[in-house]
Amino acid sequence: MPAVDLDVALADAERVLLDTSALIAFHNRAELVHPLALHLLERIESEADPIRGYCSVITASELLVRPIRVSRADFTFMHTFLTSYPNLTVLPMDLHVAAQAATVRAATGLRLPDAVVVATAMLAGCEAVVTNDEQWKRRVSPLFTRFNWIHLGDYM
C-alpha cells in the first residue's frame, strides 16, 4: 500500500514543504505518483490531521507559468488553489529568506530557485520536504539532512 508507506515515511512530521513536482503530481492525474500526492494533500486539507503543507513563492511562480500560457480559466484555477487550499501556505520571500538562500547557494552551488525553496523550508521549520524530482533526490537531499526527504517515486 503506497499511501501507508508514505504515511510511515512522513512519521510525525507536522510541517511539510511541498516542492513544485509534488504539486504538479497532485494536479496531473496522468502522473504515476498522482495517487500519493492526492493522499498527501487530502491529509493536509483535513482539520483532524496535524500535518500542514507549505510551499515557496518560487513553487507558486512555477505552478502559474503554464496556466498563464494556456488560459485565464487555468490561471484562475491555479491561483485559487494556491490562495485557498485548506492548510496549505505559500510562504513569501523577504530579505530574511533571500539571505538564507544566498547562504545555501554559496555553500552548495545550488541554483538560486532551488536554494530559495530549501531556505524557505529551513526558515519555516519544516521537518519534511516532499518532491518527485529525481535531481532533488540525488543532488539536494544529501546536502540537507535536517529534513526528512520524501521522494514520491520511491513509494510506488
Q: In tens digits, what is the pLDDT along the chain, a chain of 156 residues?
A: 689 999 999 999 999 999 999 999 999 999 999 999 999 999 999 999 999 999 999 999 999 999 999 999 999 999 999 999 999 999 999 999 999 999 999 999 989 999 999 999 999 999 999 999 888 888 888 888 889 999 999 998
d(CA 47, CA 137): 30
- Looking at residue 113, what is its pLDDT? 93
pTM equals 0.93
- Looking at residue 70, what is its pLDDT? 95
The SS3 assignment for 52 reads strand
Residue of 68, 87, 80 whose CA lies nearest to 18: 87
The answer to whether the CB of 17 falls within 8 A of the CB of 120 is yes
- Looking at residue 1, what is its pLDDT? 67
Q: Which domains does the chain have, with CATH numbers?
A: 2-155 (3.40.50.1010)
The answer to whether the CB of 131 falls within 8 A of the CB of 155 is no
- Looking at residue 94, what is its pLDDT? 96
- Looking at residue 141, what is its pLDDT? 85
Q: Could you tell me which residues come within 8 angstroms of residue 44 by beta carbon, excluding any fewer than 6 positions away?
A: 16, 51, 52, 53, 85, 86, 87, 88
- Looking at residue 21, what is its pLDDT? 95
- Looking at residue 24, what is its pLDDT? 97
Q: Could you tell me which residues come within 8 angstroms of residue 138 by beta carbon, excluding any fewer than 6 positions away?
A: none
Strand ranges inside 19-65, DSSP E: 52-56
Residue of 14, 6, 8 whose CA lies nearest to 128: 14
d(CA 156, CA 2): 6
